[in-house]
Structures are given as structure tokens and as C-alpha cells.
Amino acid sequence: MLYLGSHVSLKAPDYFLGSIKEALSYGANACMIYTGPPSNTRRVDISKMKVQEAKSLMEESGMKMENIIVHAPYIINLANSMNPDTAKFGAEFLAQELKRVSYLGASYLVLHPGSHVKAGAEVGLQWIIDGLNEVLDQDDSNVCIALETMAGKGSECGRNFEELAIIKAGVHQSNRIGFCMDTCHIHDAGYDLTNFDSVLDEFDRILGLDSLKVLHINDSKNPIGAHKDRHENLGKGYIGFDILAQIVHHPRLDNITKILETPYIDGKAPYKEEIEQLRAIKP
């Protein structure tokens, strides 16, 4: 079954109900939301989110809760040993986010691992491990944190599968750690998507394919290995539509939720058209 959707908004007055309506308007059977603005701490009380109304609409339309993905805000940086207050704030906010995700009934929270801010990858990875342990050891939900593959921009941690494996190995509740593969990010990190079966084999060997929970489907504005992280619309970038369609329809990824994060075009979301294009491909 192809579970395909996009990032959608969550805003007043309908909040989560509005998110589901937007996803359905794109012909999607999955979607990804933030529980509030991704770059600040402003959050509406979860009781105002119209969760039950959203779930009723999902039941009518056949959309499943396991295909609703939540993305953590970018302000969380557990790796920042250079400013421990920032890392401490990140852990505290992540703990709150897990409670919001659990209330919504979603299963996965996608998280950027963090930036070591020139302290070095080894230090940054250990701080991420410590932060995740601090949060998960006190959290009683079943929400899985899906660490996202990163492009290696600046001092990002998680720029390759090996770094992500180090994080998972250090987390006490490693069963609560999964992964989100972003096609733009791994292309920009240097993985050759023209030989995607080999990339999947490498992922499986290092992280385990059963730990892959979410796919972000994006083209890239930059050539392979650029370490830039600039998303492009499907078929407009260096990865190309055919390769992305092959990934979306790959039989080893059949039941994994796939989310588009491509840029708006002239102020308009391109998701309806891009979802139609991908669904039109016959595997």
C-alpha cells in the first residue's frame, strides 16, 4: 500500500482537523504536521486542536493514524555542548513535544539530531545520546523518535548512517529510536541514489531496515555531496523524478509513510500535482 502525503499546516481555527482537510484536498492518505511554529516555542493548548473531529474525518476517509507524522521544531538542539542551556531547553521542549504527539495519537516524532556547533562530532553525538536518555527515561508514551538523516551542512550530526547508529546504540530505550530518510539530505550527504538498492542495503546493514519509519521525498537544488540541504520540486533538481518515483514505489519500502516537503511554487503548494504524478506511476 502506498501511503503518500505532504507537510500540511496546523493553524486556527480548525488546527488538527484543518490539517486533515488540507491533506485530503491533495489526494493524500498521509501527512506531516508541526504542533506549532517550527522556529519558536508558541504552542496552543492541545485541548483546542479538534483532535476527535479530525479522527472522525480520518475514519470516514480511510486515513490511518499511523500515517500521521509529527515533526519536532528546529529549535531543539540536544548536541549543543557550547551552550548547555540550549541543550537543556531542547530536552525540556522535546519532553513536552512527546506529550503532545501522544495526545494526538501519532506514533512518530521526526527529530533533527542537532548541531555540535564546532565542538566536534564525537562530543555532539554524546550530548544527543545524553539528552535522549534524559527525555526517554522519564517518558511513559510509546512515541518513537525518528532521527532524520542530515545533509552534513555546517556542524550537523547525523550526516551518515554510522553517526545515527552511534546515537541509537547509546540510548537506553533504543526501541524508541527509529529513523527518517530524507532523499535530498542523503543525496547532499553523498549517497548515490542512482544506485538506491545499494543505499538501502547499506542502511539495512548499519541501522536495520525495520528501523526506517518515515521517508521525506524531496529533490535537491544541489549536486551530490554538496552538503547544502536545499529542497527542490520533484523532477526539477539533481536527483530527478524517475529516481524519486522509484524510491516511492520501491517494494522494500511499501508500507513506510512517505512525505513531500518540496517548495511552494508562486506561493502555492505543489502537493496535489506531485502526489498525482507519483501515483500515476505503475511499479
- Is the separation of the CB atoms in 222 and 254 below 8 Å? no
Q: What is the pTM of this model?
A: 0.97
**Chain mean pLDDT for the chain:** 97
Residue 232 labeled ligand binder:
no
For residue range 62-86, what is the model confidence (pLDDT) as tens digits?
A: 999 999 999 999 999 999 999 999 9
Residue 112 labeled ligand binder:
yes
Give me the domain span that covers residue 58: 4-269
Give the pLDDT score at 42: 87
**What secondary structure, in 3-state letters, does 28-44 show?**
CCEEEECCCCCCCCCCC
Q: What is the distance between the alpha carbons of residues 161 and 95, in angstroms, rounded to a whole number?
A: 25
pLDDT-derived band at 283, boundaries 50, 70, 90 = low
Q: What is the CATH number of the domain that holds 211?
A: 3.20.20.150
Q: Is 150 within the bounds of a domain?
A: yes
Number of structural domains in the chain: 1
The amino acid occupying position 119 is A
Q: Is 147 within the bounds of a domain?
A: yes
- At residue 260, the 3 state secondary structure works out as strand
Residue 71 labeled ligand binder:
yes
Q: Is 280 within the bounds of a domain?
A: no
Q: Is 277 within the bounds of a domain?
A: no
Q: Is 263 within the bounds of a domain?
A: yes
Residue 182 labeled ligand binder:
yes
For residue range 172-197, what is the model confidence (pLDDT) as tens digits?
A: 999 999 999 999 999 999 999 999 99
Residue 250 labeled ligand binder:
no
For residue range 84-107, what is the model confidence (pLDDT) as tens digits?
A: 999 999 999 999 999 999 999 999
Residue 7 labeled ligand binder:
no
Give the pLDDT score at 186: 98
Q: Is 100 within the bounds of a domain?
A: yes
Q: Is 125 within the bounds of a domain?
A: yes
Q: Is 185 within the bounds of a domain?
A: yes
Residue 148 labeled ligand binder:
yes
